[in-house]
Amino acid sequence: MKFSANLGFLWNDRPLPDAIHAAKLAGFDAVECHWPYDTDPAEVKAALQETGLPMLGLNTRRGDVAGRENGLAALPGREAEARAAIEEAVTYANAIDAGAVHVMAGFAHGPQAQECFVDSLRYAVDLASKTGRTILIEPLNRYDAAGYFLQTTDHAKAIIAEVNAPNLKLMFDCYHVQLMEGDITHRLNALKDIIGHIQFASVPDRGAPDHGELNYAHVFAEVTRLGWSTPLGAEYKPQGATDDSLGWLRTFS
């Protein structure tokens, strides 16, 4: 089993290039991040080359963070900003050779938001296809992101079918899916053909995957049985120093 360190949560007290080096030292096989835009992509690329770690993905900007925005792509009236965020993310991904861009939908609901999100994704997949990037969409749970447009894997599946582009995939985050839907291993099986990335954290506290209501020994065994070979994203919030939370990595690697 291979694992990717999500540097939005792990070693996030360090500059991104230093966090990449820390992930390599800890034994991770890849890295991913949230919003790297304050860091010169040349510095990130250098750290990736020095460590030999691939960068699996990054997110589009959330919008007005102070105003508690969490994405723009499904917000009617914000289409120009959403497209600018997509362009920025794909450009950054190209510069550091990140494999995927997660397009964040934002807080919205209704048919206009659906139409807006689909249009944004069509723009994103077309732009990303020019350099072989994947676009990801991710359902978020109602406890951490109340009012987020995309909350279930069924909704994500329908959107992926509507856009109908080979480089649009589902980000299957076991933490979010367990809180909203449960039935993790059956859903992994049912959705395997449209999954582009898998992430994990304990439920319900979003900590390391060594406690809580999900048995990750079972989940990881099922992922292996499905033939999944891409590193799984460790997107959890350490209780204290990241290095002190990595017992699970030695257990499952």
Residues noted as catalytic: 138, 235
**3-state per-residue secondary structure call for the chain:** CCEEEECCCCCCCCCHHHHHHHHHHHCCCEEECCCCCCCCHHHHHHHHHHHCCCECEEECCCCCCCCCCCECCCCCCCHHHHHHHHHHHHHHHHHHCCCEEECCECECCCHHHHHHHHHHHHHHHHHHHCCCCEEEECCCCCCCCCCECCCCHHHHHHHHHHHCCCCEEEEEEHHHHHHHCCCHHHHHHHHCCCEEEEEECCCCCCCCCCCCCCCHHHHHHHHHHCCCCCCEEECCCCCCCHHHHCHHHHHHC
